[in-house]
Amino acid sequence: MRIATWNVNSIRSRIDRVEAWLQRSDVDVLAIQETKATDAQFPFERLQALGYEVAHHGFNHWNGVAILSRVGLGAVTPAFAGAPAWGEPPVVEARALSATCGGIHVTSVYVPNGRNIRDPHMEYKLSWLEALGAQARRWAADGQQAVIMGDWNIAPQDDDVWSMSYYLDKSHVSPGERAAFQGILDAGYVDVVRPHTPGPGTYTYWDYTMLAFQKRRGMRIDFVLGSPAFAERVSGAAIDREERKGKGASDHAPVVVQLEA
DNA sequence: ATGGTAGCCCTGCTA
């Protein structure tokens, strides 16, 4: 069984690439972020035609998360991680979509972008992660297989950015963000990809500007975090940086995990 | 503090 996560930066502009990638990558489960589509705009039919059940939640104009699960893995049962809303209630901005695929509790997350370390969005990001952690702890309880994967908008280690001096006092590397990420690990999860793709220089995202990809100036901000029961099934992992190449690429590369049986 | 590119809500905002 193979599972993957990919921030596609608009499912509608990327649909041809996503289809081609699914066909050559042979993944059973794909978590997608930044669909930039409402449910009405989401191309369910084209993905279902490839043999996937599809769940999508488009929660605002520029983001949205989805889960694709190969037909036969079991029912896709959408559920949302409760989390503080940006703005006043009753606005719900879930940014996380869960489904049960092949006996695994799968969650696709798009962690809020804090914009910069003194922006109100940073406070929101940290409180959102705290709420996610409480959910995550439940998903991993009683030895269950659980995986939370997506775009975390956090580089947990210095080696996860091309230059720490460049990111000094910027978002993604601040102590508060790194502590919040650690909070998810403390809820009973491990990064199942890093042991198979050690750094430095191993990134999942490269800015579109300033020839960042060509200059190898990236960040590792997309992670697959698994409960112990999930992690012990992992036999391999890879970051598909080939997919970042060429015209029409997302600014993020897919991250793929191989599971035993 | 800016600019670089991409995608949408499209001459502004978000990443």
CATH code: domain of residue A34: 3.60.10.10
Please give the residue that has the higher pLDDT: either A74 or A166.
A166
What is the domain extent for residue A126? Answer: 2-259
Tell me the pLDDT tens digit for each residue of A6-62.
999 999 999 999 999 999 999 999 999 999 999 999 999 999 999 999 999 887 778
Separation CA A20–CA A77 (nearest Å): 26
* A208 closest-nt by C1' vs CA: B5
Separation CA A202–CA A125 (nearest Å): 25
* Under 8 Å between Cβ of A121 and A115: yes
- Tell me which residue of A249, A220, A218 sits closest to A237, measured CA to CA: A220
Task: Tell me what the mean pLDDT of segment A157-184 comes to.
Answer: 97
CA–C1' gap, A94 and B10, in angstroms = 26
Structure tokens at A182: 């650690």
- Number of structural domains (chain A) is 1
CA–C1' gap, A10 and B12, in angstroms = 19
Q: Does residue A36 approach strand B to less than 7 Å at its CB?
A: yes
Q: What is the mean pLDDT of chain A?
A: 92
Q: Which residue is nearest to nucleotide B14 (CA to C1')?
A: A62
Q: Which residue is nearest to nucleotide B13 (CA to C1')?
A: A62
Please give the residue that has the higher pLDDT: either A63 or A11.
A11
Q: Does position A77 have pLDDT exceeding 70, yes or no?
A: no
pLDDT value for A81: 47
* Under 8 Å between Cβ of A185 and A137: no
pLDDT value for A93: 58
Please give the residue that has the higher pLDDT: either A71 or A63.
A71
Please give the residue that has the higher pLDDT: either A47 or A92.
A47
Q: Does residue A246 approach strand B to less than 7 Å at its CB?
A: no
Q: Does position A80 have pLDDT exceeding 70, yes or no?
A: no
Structure tokens at A254: 């897919």
Task: Tell me what the mean pLDDT of segment A252-259 comes to.
Answer: 98
CA–C1' gap, A14 and B8, in angstroms = 13
pLDDT value for A89: 36
Q: Does residue A5 approach strand B to less than 7 Å at its CB?
A: no
Q: Considering only residues 189-218 of protein chain A, which place a Cβ less than 7 A from any atom of strand B?
A: 207-210
Give the predicted TM-score (pTM) of the model.
0.95
